[in-house]
Amino acid sequence: MPVLEIAVKFGIYAAMGTVLIFALGVVTLRNLFHCALCLAAALIGTAVIYLGLRADFLAGIQILLYVGAVVTLVIFAIMLTEHLAGKTVRQNNSQSLPAVIGLAAFVAILAALIVKTPWPLQAASHAKISVMEIGQALMGTYVFPFEVISVILIAALIGAVVIAKKDNSGEQS
Amino acid sequence: MNRILGFFDQIFVSAKAWLLALLGRFLPDWVVVLASIVISGVVILVMGAVIMMYLTLLERKLLGRIQNRYGPNRVGKWGLLQPIADGIKMFTKEDIIPANADKIIHLLAPIVIVVPAFMIFLVVPFGRGMTAANLNIGLLYFIAVSSVTTLPIFMGSWASRNKYSLLGGMRTAAQMISYEVPMTLSVVPVIMMSQSLSTNEIVLAQSGCSGLHWFIFTPWGLAGFIVFFLCATAECNRPPFDLPEAESELVAGFHTEYSGMKFALFYMAEYMNAFTLCGIAATLFLGGWQGPFLPSWAWFFGKTFILICVMIWFRGTFPRFRVDQLMGFAWKFLLPLTLINILVAALWHFLPPVWAWLWSALILVISFFILVKLNINFVPEKRVYTLES
């Protein structure tokens, strides 16, 4: 079915274009809330690209973690600081020019590397990783990094609790 | 007898197959593939809207009965045309946008909120072979898509520039983030037992005993179902968890500044979410479309309908939570219970049947009572001052 394949290809390119537009919006819009919404849209677009590349699990996790949790927290923070929500904020400062030059250099190096690397096209198109394999890899081969990450997460959680805890010693004295 | 049952069981599936075969005679292959998608899509769009309309009628009728009155009964026989009258009324209302509102986002919020509500319908297995898209990450897809619902509520509440809207939005954020955690964890035992994320596979894992081998008939399944159902009620902001739109304090919460069709879209998303969450609860714990005698879709809709009636019953009988009670319930009670439930499910897997029953039931009951005991707040004794003359 060549027609459908072409349609899927165009769909993926359209998704990439949309992601780029929204990503530009994140760094150029003046209103912080609009930026956060653009970020959410860009992340959803990334998930769509993952879906197009047949990485279902990754797409699901992308939406759940980034759109469902991270962006929600960002927006929550923006709404808690009410005086930021309505105002417009400048997104650039006097250091834009050096930043653009540095970015251009980085993109050039990256592009050179991408062009040089011989990508194994055949293997990539057939790689279909199931959820079960990911689980087995996490619990088998990569169990040590997995546990280290959970320890780090718990440390962060405890840290948050300690920061948020009421300072009782101050009140008593 | 079996043949008749099989015919009714597959009536929708074979209708679609017949239509596609008809199209395939004089159209190229890719049109048929597209048509297959379009047919499923149109069925879902129409079904979502119709279900929403009649859920409002059902809710008003049942609430009326609970409050000892009739409910709507004037438009059509038994008030059956009431939803259509409501729809026409919504179309004729004036569309009001507050002067200081963020116009674009104010317009986008009600449109965006309907999208995830419709998207969840994709993975709901309505009957044998009646899942619109049999994704192998079905359950993860459901959790991910339903977590997006917070965003449009934020958009609506922020764009209205209204203190009630904003307060409602903040409450929604706190509530939905909190209740997502125990909801996700409560489905983990189901994934462990069926060893799949696909909603179809989960239903198939509950076959046996003439289709009555449901997960709810196990200790961990019962605990998981109760936690999941409570969290589902909280996720679609229904009473007793309706703090985001508490009428008596916040006017209407995040949709205070919406009128006409925009308000109707918020309403629609809420009812469709209630339906899909009940459907997913039935799929995960009540065996989905499994069941003896009746066709599979009749079982699915029957179970979902009963769960929705329970939700309406909640609304008619329970008073609203306080904010601290709401948060405490999610984090101090449901979350530890789901964690214990995951361990119990693992225990169930490794023990022989009778012992598994005994141990898991025992552990769950004991931990339930310990959690209840720990959650009783300290209330200081009332002091009485006597007047001394």
A31-80 pLDDT, tens digit each: 788 888 889 889 989 988 888 877 788 888 888 888 888 888 888 787 77
The structural domain count of chain B equals 1
Size of the A and B interface in Cβ pairs below 8 Å: 80
**What domain range is B296 assigned to?**
93-337
Residue B145 in any domain: the answer is yes
> Taking CA atoms, what residue in B is nearest to A34?
B105
Residue B81 in any domain: the answer is no
The residue ranges of chain B whose pLDDT is under 50 are none
B177/A63 Cβ within 8 A = no
> Taking CA atoms, what residue in B is nearest to A86?
B161
Residue B343 in any domain: the answer is no
Residue B188 in any domain: the answer is yes
Residue B356 in any domain: the answer is no
Q: How confident is the model at residue A108 (pLDDT cuts 50, 70, 90)?
A: very high
Residue B29 in any domain: the answer is no
Decide: A67 and B147 in contact? Cβ < 8 Å: yes
The pLDDT tens digits for A16-36 are 999 999 998 888 887 788 888
pTM of the predicted structure, to 2 decimals: 0.85
The pLDDT tens digits for B74-103 are 887 888 888 888 888 888 888 888 887 778
Per-residue model confidence (pLDDT) at position A169: 59
B148/A63 Cβ within 8 A = yes
**Domains of chain A: residue spans and CATH:** 3-89+131-172 (1.20.120.1200)
Residue B310 in any domain: the answer is yes
A85 contacts chain B (CB < 8 A): yes
Identify which of B144, B151, B170 has the shortest CB distance to residue A64. B144
A18 contacts chain B (CB < 8 A): no
> Taking CA atoms, what residue in B is nearest to A5?
B30
SS3 for chain B is CHHHHHHHHCHHHHHHHHHHHHHHHHCCHHHHHHHHHHHHHHHHHHHHHHHHHHHHHHHHHHHHHHCCCCCCCCCCHHHCCHHHHHHHHHHHCCCCCCCCCCHHHHHHHHHHHHHHHHHHHHHCCCCCCCCCCCCCCHHHHHHHHHHHCHHHHHHHHHHCCCHHHHHHHHHHHHHHHHHHHHHHHHCHHHHHHHCCCCHHHHHHCCCCCCCCCCHHHCHHHHHHHHHHHHHHHHHCCCCCCCHHHCHHHHCCHHHCCCCHHHHHHHHHHHHHHHHHHHHHHHHHHCCCCCCCCCCHHHHHHHHHHHHHHHHHHHHHHCCCCCHHHHHHHHHHHHHHHHHHHHHHHHHHHHCCHHHHHHHHHHHHHHHHHHHHHHHCCCCCCCCCCCCCC
Residue from B108, B120, B141, B165 to probe the interface with A (highest A Cβ count within 10 Å): B141
How many Å lie between the alpha carbon of A96 and the closest alpha carbon of chain B?
29
